[in-house]
Structures are given as C-alpha cells and as structure tokens.
Structure 1
Amino acid sequence: MPVKCCFHRSNAGETMAWSESVDTVLSNKEGLAAFRTFLKSEFSEENVEFWLACEDFKKTKSSTKIALKAQKIYSDFIQADAPKEINIDFHTKNNISQNISEPTLSCFDAAQSSIYCLMAKDSFPRFLRSEVYKELVKKYQDRNQKRWLPFL
C-alpha cells in the first residue's frame, strides 16, 4: 500500500512558484537541476535519481524492457549494498525483493511514494533555504527585471 504524503501535488507552472511544492521543482528542468545540485551537496541525490528512474520506468511499454529496467532500478537503488541505495522501510524493500522476478509497472510505487515524501518533508524545505535556491530566484528576478525595463 503506497505511503500517503501530507504534501499536496501542485500544478503551479511558474518557476517562482517552486516554493509551493516539490512537484513544481521536479517538473522544471532548471529547478530539477538546482534541486539535484542541492541534494548532491547533502549526499542524498540518490533520492531524486530513484524518483526519476521510477517516473521513466512507469512509461515503459515493452515487457522485456520492463523486466530489464526493473532489475536495473532494483540493483542500483533497492538491494542491500546497492551503489545508490535508498532509505526505505523493511516491509517495502522486502515486498519489492519478493516480486522483482515478475515486475509490474507499479512495483516501485510504494518506495517511490516514500522517497517523494522524504524529499517533500525533509530535503525540499532545506532546499528552499539554501544558497542554491536563493541564487536561482535572484537569477530569475534579474531576468524578469531586464525583460520589463524597456517598458518603464
């Protein structure tokens, strides 16, 4: 059963609305790059990498590719001593391990939800207070000021 998260997913499209939700950052190329840079500085970029791998996995059509991608995600992020092992509860990890031989497109949903919530509740608020985020906001504010200057 997927973990429920207290953060609501937002459809806010504007870059300056990033502070509203982690979704707005994850869905924006520059926002995602900045968030990854921040997570790398905290030694937790595996979380966003796992989340992105799951998003890509869910779009897979071929059953052969489903099996290959699932095994890659499992070996990279889930199995014990994986190179980018994510921090998920025993039950979720055990459930994935038992079902990885016959993966479905939803086999990582509970783990992805758990990691999403971890990013939303823990990493994201720190990101909003970080220099990486402040510099990005300033960059966008400077861009917008320059764009409107001719009209002043």
Structure 2
Amino acid sequence: MRIHLTAITNESRFNFSAPKEEAYFKMLGEDELLASRMKENHFRNKDKKSRLSLLLTKSGSHENVSPEKKPPAKTVHIAPDVALRWSNSFEELMNHSDGVETFTQFLRTEFSEENIEFWLACEDFKTTESATKLLSNAKQIYAVFIDKEAPKEINIDHTTKADIEKNILQPTHFCFDVAQDKIYGLMKRDCYPRFLTSDIYLTLTKRKGPVTMTRRRSRSFVFTKRAEGTAAWL
C-alpha cells in the first residue's frame, strides 16, 4: 500500500507529457529555476559584451566605451617640424602614424573619437583574409559603430545604414566604404580645422597662435638698410 501511494505522489510531481527540462526544474523548485536562468543570462550578456569590445582594443582609445573612463594618453615625442607638415593637408596628417595618434587624442577631448576609431576599424577590416573572419568582423563593426544601440554609434544617414545592413549578410572588403568615406569627409571638414588651432597641436609645433596653411612664397622686393638707401632683391 505504501508503495502504491508513493507512486501516485511521484506521478503528481511530474508531468511526463512536458519536456524533460521542465519536469526537472519542477523537481528542483521555483528558486532553483530562477537562479539557473539568471546565471544563464549573466553568461550570455558577458559573452555579448566580450564580442562588442573586440574592436574597442584596436587603438589607444578603445579600451573603454564610457567617456568618463578614458585611458591615459600616450607620451609621443614628435619633432616640431614633423608636426608642422600636418598642417599642409588632412591627408598628410592621416598618412602619418603619430599624426593619427595625435588627432585621436584631440578627438577624445571633443568626445568624438568614435569617428577615427570607425575609420581605423574599416582600414583593418579591408586586410581580413579569411571569409569566416570577414563575416564575423563585419557584424562586430556593425554592432559597435552602426547599430542604433551601438556603444560608439557614428553619425551617418539612414540610407547608408540600411545599405550596410544588407551588405553584411554577404560581406565584401568594401561593404563599409560609403560610410567610411562620409566619416573621413566629416573629420576633414569639421574636426581637422579645429585640430590645427587646438592646444594639443600648438604645443607640438611650439607655437602660441593658430597654424596657417604652409605656402611657398614668390620672390619679393624688399628694402634693406644700406648706406646708399637703395633697394635690394632677396
């Protein structure tokens, strides 16, 4: 009789028509079920954050998404004459590794470093060799810089975003080119002129005022202090 009652009790505790996992959690109780699900969500969120932060370690400012937690700036020794050449053009600045690093430091002060970080990520993306990595890296760039909830969302138009969403399904090395060109143009028109008048750049060039674009001067006629008071060509 005791055996029969035990069988009935056990049968009432389990619904064998339900999935095995559900029956198992009913046996553990509601507390254990909640704890298990919370643990699963914790590791899932942790894995997502790890994947999103992969690209954020590509450059000096990529360690932290929060602007309140910026890494210390690197101390770079740059000759003033080298820094002065960066005022010739934005292209010359971006073709110099120290120029890119210095420009990145300036953008941090304006809380707009996501622009240079996206540009650098695209440059690195173009060197990807494996097709598998190409897809993975494309999704990571989208998650970090393009998605509406991206931690470092760049300012591009809706049409460009929509095109990228389609392109990354079967990505090529050029699927971010349009967005990259837009960000490059934005930095050139908007950020670069302010960079040339910033304290960061003026300190490097040992100047106290804004740097003007370097131009060659034509031969000019000037007066020199001579006894006979005649003019001389220099």
1:44-83 mapped onto 2 (5 Å cutoff): 44-83=112-151
Contact 2:83/2:204 (<8 A) preserved? no
Shift of 1:32: 1.4
1:97-112 mapped onto 2 (5 Å cutoff): 97-112=165-180
Contact 1:60/1:66 (<8 A) preserved? yes
Contact 1:76/1:84 (<8 A) preserved? yes
Match for residue 110 of structure 2? Answer: 42
Say which SS state the counterpart of residue 164 (structure 2) adopts. Answer: helix
1:2-151 mapped onto 2 (5 Å cutoff): 15-138=83-206
Shift of 1:33: 1.5
Give structure 1 regions of 4+ aligned residues with deviation exceeding 6 angstroms. none
Q: How many residues align?
A: 126
Report which of the two structures shows the higher radius of gyration computed on alpha carbons.
Answer: 2
Separation in 2, partners of 1:85, 1:55 = 17
Separation in 1, partners of 2:118, 2:176 = 10
Contact 1:15/1:28 (<8 A) preserved? no
Separation in 2, partners of 1:80, 1:107 = 18
CA RMSD of aligned residues (A): 1.4
Separation in 2, partners of 1:32, 1:132 = 13
Separation in 1, partners of 2:88, 2:139 = 34
CA shift digits 1:74-118 (9 cap, x unpaired): 101001120000000111011001221111110000000000000
- TM superposition score normalised by structure 2: 0.52
Higher RCO, 1 vs 2 (CA within 8 Å, ≥6 residues apart): 1
Structure 1 residues not aligned, in runs of 5+: 1-13, 140-152
Structure 2 residues not aligned, in runs of 5+: 1-81, 208-234
Say which SS state the counterpart of residue 86 (structure 2) adopts. Answer: helix
Identity, in percent, stands at 52
Separation in 2, partners of 1:21, 1:71 = 33
Q: Tell me the amino acid that sits aligned with residue 87 of structure 1.
A: N
Q: Tell me the amino acid that sits aligned with residue 34 of structure 1.
A: T
Shift of 1:15: 4.1
Say which SS state the counterpart of residue 86 (structure 1) adopts. Answer: coil
- Bigger shift: residues 20-29 or 31-40: 20-29
Relative to total residues, which structure has the larger helix share, 1 or 2?
1
Say which SS state the counterpart of residue 19 (structure 1) adopts. Answer: coil
- TM superposition score normalised by structure 1: 0.78
